Amino acid sequence: MNDGATVRVELGSRAYDVVVGPGLLARGGELLAPLLRRPEVVVVTDRNLERQGHLARLQQALAAGGIAQQSVVLPPGEATKSMAQLDELLDRILALGIERSTAIVALGGGVIGDLAGFAAAILLRGLDLVQIPTTLLAQVDSAIGGKTGINSRHGKNLIGAFHQPRLVLADAEVLATLPPRELRAGYAEVVKYGLIDRPDFFAWLEAEGHRVLAAEPAALARAVVESCRAKAAVVAADEREGGARALLNLGHTFAHALERVTGYGDELLHGEAVACGLVLAFALSVRLGLCPQTDLERVRRHIAAAGLPASRRAIRAEGFATDALLEAFAHDKKVEGGQPRFVLVRGIGRAFTGATVEPAALRDLLDAPDP
Ligand code: GLY
């Protein structure tokens, strides 16, 4: 497992590989060359990745593979996922004199992957895209499955398109330079896959998750590969989120509300919000009589042991106003008929969609002192 693995996302004529393993950036030229319509790419990345030398490593590898490349380096951070930065990015890429056979390579975390992916979806009515995710969260979630887009002042990810990549390269070595907080935040999405339908994987994380969080290569590779397999299976079954893909939103309705009230800033990273949202989804399911209390306790314990917020008070000691959270649910893009949608659970590894939750039950949960 130390060497990683290749996971296939089965989407017929648009199927692609997610390659997981060490040293993939350095093999970028060799891995991309067979897929390109013309040996020419535009790499989109951010200043942090440039500073850490990852862009230079990829550029060297592309040159060694005979691939001509130009790059666009953007400011890091969530604010880059904006209409203004998209406009700027499109303009800069068009100024490079691209053709329909030019491919876009997104080298970065979720922000770069979503923004550059969206640019690839709409430039010249669609360019080939390669995702090279550099955060744990992007490797196990956002780089796989073709969701691309930007934020609006009305909410996160409200403008976007489905645009599947031709290849995803998840280089395990790049994760070694991640700040521990970023690694922990990505770990929440790893835990999510265990909680949705992989109880054995969750049990493995309970035993070995500390090794994943310590970035031990073998444990980290196993966690990434298992997560990519889980994500690939869901995307292959339901690419456009007509049904099963909605399971991936476990914990996310709560998470989006928490992110909204904390202002999408440094107080709470997306993965941290997801961690708390997972606990809240289990707590809601227990209140509705769907899930054993013991499973909620296991989830709460594991999230806390990972150094992630297992309750709202772990985010903000004075708590959050129930009305502010209820108001925030209304802005979620998954609202249907004015009602927020929740993924609920019958236990660990037994998530399901389609349940309606009475506003009173939600208010009771949010009024409770904990979680
Ligand atoms: N991150 C949720 C999805 O890809 O559907």
Is the pLDDT at 230 greater than 60? The verdict is: yes
Q: Answer yes or no: 125 catalytic.
A: yes
In which residue are the tokens 């390669």 written? 130
What value does the mean pLDDT take over residues 184-205? 98
Is the pLDDT at 335 greater than 80? The verdict is: no
What mean pLDDT is reported for the chain? 94
Distance (angstroms) between ligand 1 centre and the Cα of 24 equals: 24
Tens-place pLDDT, residues 245-277: 999 999 999 999 999 999 888 899 999 999 999
Is the pLDDT at 235 greater than 90? The verdict is: yes
List all residues whose CB is within 6 A of at least one atom of ligand 1: 141, 145, 147, 245, 248
Q: Answer yes or no: 47 catalytic.
A: no
Specify the ligand 1 atom closest to the Cα of 245.
5
Distance from C-alpha of 32 to C-alpha of 16, rounded to nearest angstrom: 12
Single out the catalytic residue among 249, 260, 300, 341.
249
Number of residues in the chain: 371
From residue 321, how far is each of 138, 261, 287, 316, 324 by CA, in Å?
A: 31, 9, 20, 11, 5
What's the pLDDT at 2? 52
What's the pLDDT at 371? 65
Backbone phi, psi, residue 105, to 5°: -115, 120
What value does the mean pLDDT take over residues 35-57? 97
User: Are 312 and 371 within 8 A, CB to CB?
Assistant: yes
Per-residue pLDDT band for 238 (boundaries 50, 70, 90) equals very high
Q: Residue 59 CB: number of other CB atoms within 10 A?
A: 19
**337: burial class by Cβ within 10 Å (0-12, 13-18, 19+)?**
exposed
Distance from C-alpha of 244 to C-alpha of 236, rounded to nearest angstrom: 10
Tens-place pLDDT, residues 136-186: 999 999 999 999 999 998 888 999 999 999 999 999 999 988 999 999 999
What's the pLDDT at 3? 60
Tens-place pLDDT, residues 297-325: 999 999 999 999 999 889 988 888 899 99
Q: Candidates 9, 114, 139, 142: which one to mutate for ligand 1, based on the most atoms within 8 Å of Cβ?
A: 142
Spacing of C-alpha 368 from chain mean position: 30
Single out the catalytic residue among 163, 229, 256, 341.
256
Cα dihedral across residues 33, 34, 35, 38: positive or negative = positive
Single out the catalytic residue among 241, 313, 331, 350.
241
Distance (angstroms) between ligand 1 centre and the Cα of 142 equals: 7
Single out the catalytic residue among 231, 260, 298, 300.
231
Q: DSSP string of 204-222?
A: HHHHHHHHHHTT-HHHHHH
The 8-class DSSP code of residue 139 comes to: I
Q: DSSP string of 129-178?
A: EEEEE-SHHIIIIITSS-EEEEEETTEEEEEEEE---SEEEEEGGGGGGS
Pairing state between β 155-162 and 147-152:
antiparallel
Is the pLDDT at 331 greater than 80? The verdict is: no
The 8-class DSSP code of residue 152 comes to: E
What's the pLDDT at 321? 87
Nearest to 168 by CA among 188, 141, 190, 193: 141
Dmax of the chain from CA atoms?
A: 62
Q: Answer yes or no: 252 catalytic.
A: yes
Distance (angstroms) between ligand 1 centre and the Cα of 245 equals: 7
Q: Answer yes or no: 229 catalytic.
A: no
In which residue are the tokens 């692609």 written? 16
Per-residue pLDDT band for 1 (boundaries 50, 70, 90) equals very low
From residue 44, how far is each of 134, 265, 285, 322, 357 by CA, in Å?
A: 13, 23, 42, 40, 42
What value does the mean pLDDT take over residues 224-235? 98
Q: Candidates 248, 270, 341, 353: which one to mutate for ligand 1, based on the most atoms within 8 Å of Cβ?
A: 248
The 8-class DSSP code of residue 284 comes to: H
Distance (angstroms) between ligand 1 centre and the Cα of 144 equals: 8
